[in-house]
């Protein structure tokens, strides 16, 4: 009977020892590798240019979630919205899509007419 009781406790003890070894290795990795590298990464992010920050944020390669939030915030600060500017083309040419929608009305003046198939002004 005692021999069966000893066999019964072998599996839980082996599992407990294995789990504690895995847990200790994970803690050592976290404290000796992840935290120092995350701090270095934070210091490097303060000195990065916008292009470098945007590249790093695009890759989403951060050591910790906190660094990821800091990187995203810095990348959002670098993204300056561009002013919408027209191409200074004639509105018919700017919004024309070749082979697309063509109005029924013929667009022309005394010297030129607008070709909707090629989106160009042609001479008469």
Tens-place pLDDT, residues 51-62? 888 888 888 888
**Residue of higher predicted confidence among 83 and 67:** 67
User: String of b and e for 38-59 (b: at least 16 CB within 10 Å)?
Assistant: beebbeebeeeeeeebbebbee
Phi and psi for 35 in degrees, rounded to 5?
Answer: -65, -45
Mean pLDDT of 85-108: 62
Residues 34 and 42 sit within 8 Å (Cβ to Cβ): no
Model confidence at 114: pLDDT above 80 = no
Residues 77 and 55 sit within 8 Å (Cβ to Cβ): no
Phi and psi for 12 in degrees, rounded to 5?
Answer: -60, -35
Model confidence at 84: pLDDT above 60 = no
Q: What is the pTM of this model?
A: 0.51
**Residue of higher predicted confidence among 22 and 90:** 22
State residue 110's pLDDT score.
76
């Amino acid at each position: 009977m005692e021999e069966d009781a000893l066999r019964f406790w072998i599996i839980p003890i082996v599992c407990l020892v294995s789990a504690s070894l895995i847990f200790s290795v994970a803690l050592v990795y976290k404290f000796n590798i992840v935290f120092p590298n995350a701090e270095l990464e934070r210091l490097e992010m303060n000195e990065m240019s916008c292009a470098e920050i945007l590249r790093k944020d695009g890759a989403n390669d951060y050591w910790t979630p906190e660094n990821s939030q800091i990187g995203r915030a810095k990348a959002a600060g670098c993204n300056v919205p561009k002013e919408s500017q027209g191409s200074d083309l004639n509105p018919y040419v700017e919004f024309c899509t070749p082979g697309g929608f063509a109005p029924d009305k013929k667009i022309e003046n005394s010297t030129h007419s607008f070709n909707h198939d090629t989106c160009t002004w042609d001479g008469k």
